[in-house]
Amino acid sequence: MNVDEKLEGIDQRLRLLEERLSLLESGQPLAKAPLPATVTVAPELDPGSGTVLLVLAGKALFVLGGAFLLRAATESAALPPQIGVLLGFLYAVGWGVAAVLALRAGRRLNAVFLIVVAAIVAYPIVWEATTRFHVLSATAAALLLAGMSIALIAMARRFSLQTPAWIAVAGATFDALLLAYATKEVIPFALELTVVGIVAFLLAMSYAGWLLAIESDLVAIFLIIAAVIDESKDSRSPIVISLLLFAALWMIVTARVPAQVAVASLIGLAGAAALVLPASSAAILGGVAAVVAAEIARHTSWRVFALQSTAWGVFAGVAGGLFMYTASAFVEGDVIVATPLPALMTAALCLAAFFRLNFARLPLLAIAACGAAGLTIHTAMTIISGSAATHALLRTAILVVMSLALASIGRVWRVPEASQLGAVTLVLTAVQVIVQELLTGRAGIMFVALAIYGSAMLGIARLRRAPAASA
């Protein structure tokens, strides 16, 4: 039964209902009228039934079987590589056209299966045509990937389907990344990812929503990976431009969606900074961005920007070498480690961001504490010369003082993050005592270290029991 017949049957039902309502309003008895024969609907298969799934699975296997037949003919030289690749691609396009016809007929489940199998055929063809049969150049493969993916995205928009859009972005991303690695040509695939990503952005705002937005973020992440694997570094500039466009576009078109603005701007700006700027400049930029994101979170009450501030702080700490600098303070060596200025600036900026936030603040305070601990220990060991046991005792004393100071700040000024970090510092002090004092220290030094640690435990316990001061 076609669509016109169904509509005609619905129209006849409505007319029958109007006649019965008019009889009720006039007070006349209702006559039991039979339903018109034209509205008898033939039973259809339930899309969730096993029969339909078996039919569709059989059809999918049939389609894939044809693709493998063409591949075998091309591989055995029965068909020239150019002809085999062309026939394989036309074969995939034909099943894509069949999916469009199925969508127009209302058979959506059937169409989704056809789209999936057509993509399973098409994307590997581009890979093999470029790397195995050497029929396509890197530029031609990138153009073909972009055309295929945009066609699937247009299909998704036209028929309100999410599956083609997901397949398009995922296929374009993974195929481009693999081809960039195999061909060592990153620029064509970076531009292809940029074009597909922009189309995906526009679709995400009008239809597909968060799922496709997240997938679009992955496009930018893979752009960064593609730049990292490029040993020549010739592709850095276009990829950086693409990442900056990525961030700017999301900030413009998703101004009222703070979560996606925060995520996309973080990926785009941080990725561009990491690829282009020196480590010291990237660290300072990350610290400033942490403060800016904290201010945005404070004035807008958007918690996602508080999380972004934390992410910027971690990025700045890694880029500035803050964590390596702090870790080196716990390793005994003859070489005096110079204090990196970007690391200290990062710690100070993270502390400033901490004071501007009221959510997700603990990592920022931890980054600032790492900077303070590293600077204090390195300075103390430079001023006080002595054996390894003496330096180990010095580290223990500094960590104990820090844990007590943090616990006091948390108790007096009601900063729960400081109390939590004080407890963590105390645990690290225990590790310090066990690893360095008990294993390498002398008996007298061990006694002093254990006494210091025990006093710290008693002090923190006393602070926890004491009443809090009024804020």
- Residue type, position 264, single letter: A
Report d(CA 410, CA 404) in Å as an integer.
10
Cα 393 from Cα 385, distance rounded (Å):
12
**Cβ atoms of 121 and 92 closer than 8 Å:** yes
Spatial distance between the Cα atoms of 165 and 151, rounded to a whole number of angstroms: 9
17 DSSP 8-state letter = H
Which residues, including other chains, have CB under 8 Å from residue 227's CB and lie 6 or more apart? Answer: 186, 190, 233, 235, 236, 239, 240, 275
Among 433, 436, 240, residue whose Cα is nearest residue 332: 436
- Quick one: how far is CA 412 from the chain centroid? 39
What are the structural domain ranges in the chain?
384-466
Give the residue among 230, 74, 4 at the shortest CA–CA distance from 138. 230
Residue linked to tokens 């076609």: 2
Alpha-carbon distance values, 28 to 13, 15, 245, 283 (Å): 20, 18, 72, 86
Asked if residues 450 and 438 have their Cβ atoms less than 8 Å apart, the reply is: no
Alpha-carbon span 283 to 324, nearest angstrom: 14
Asked if residue 115 lies in contact with residue 63, where contact means CB atoms within 8 angstroms, the answer is: no
Amino acid letter, 459? G
* Residue numbers of the chain with a pLDDT score lower than 70: 1-15, 17-56, 58-60, 204-216, 231, 254, 333-336, 434-453, 455-471
Task: Give me the residue label for tokens 């127009």.
Answer: 104
In contact, 150 and 144? CB cutoff 8 Å: no
* pLDDT on residue 356: 93
Query: What letter would DSSP give residue 37?
Result: G
- pLDDT tens-digit readout, 416-435: 999 899 888 887 887 777 66
User: Which residues, other chains included, contact 59 with Cβ-Cβ below 8 Å and sequence gap of 6+?
Assistant: 110, 113, 114
- Look-up of token digits 């006849």: 12
Concatenate the DSSP letters of all residues of 341-378 into one string.
HHHHHHHHHHHHHHHH-SSS-HHHHHHHHHHHHHHHHH
> What is the per-residue pLDDT across 431-470, written as a single tens digit (0 to 9) for each?
777 666 555 555 555 656 666 667 666 666 666 665 544 4
The pLDDT, as a whole number, for residue 331 is 80
Q: Which residue has the tokens 């970090």?
A: 421
- Owner of token pair 């900077």: 371
Continuous H helices in 76-107? 81-104
Rounded-to-integer distance, Cα 394 and Cα 452, Å: 11
Please answer whether residues 227 and 279 qualify as being in contact, where contact means their C-beta atoms are separated by less than 8 angstroms: no
Angle (CA) 200 242 256, round 5°:
55
Give pLDDT, residue 137: 93
- Stretch (H or E) spanning 463: helix 443-465
Q: Assess contact for 165 and 208: CB atoms under 8 A.
A: yes
Q: What is the pTM of this model?
A: 0.66
Q: Where are the alpha helices (DSSP H) in 27-80?
A: 50-75
- Secondary-structure percent of the chain, ordered helix, strand, coil, rounded to 5: 80, 0, 20
Tokens of 29: 């008895």
| DSSP type of residue 468 | P
Whole-angstrom Cα distance, residue 402 to residue 400?
A: 5
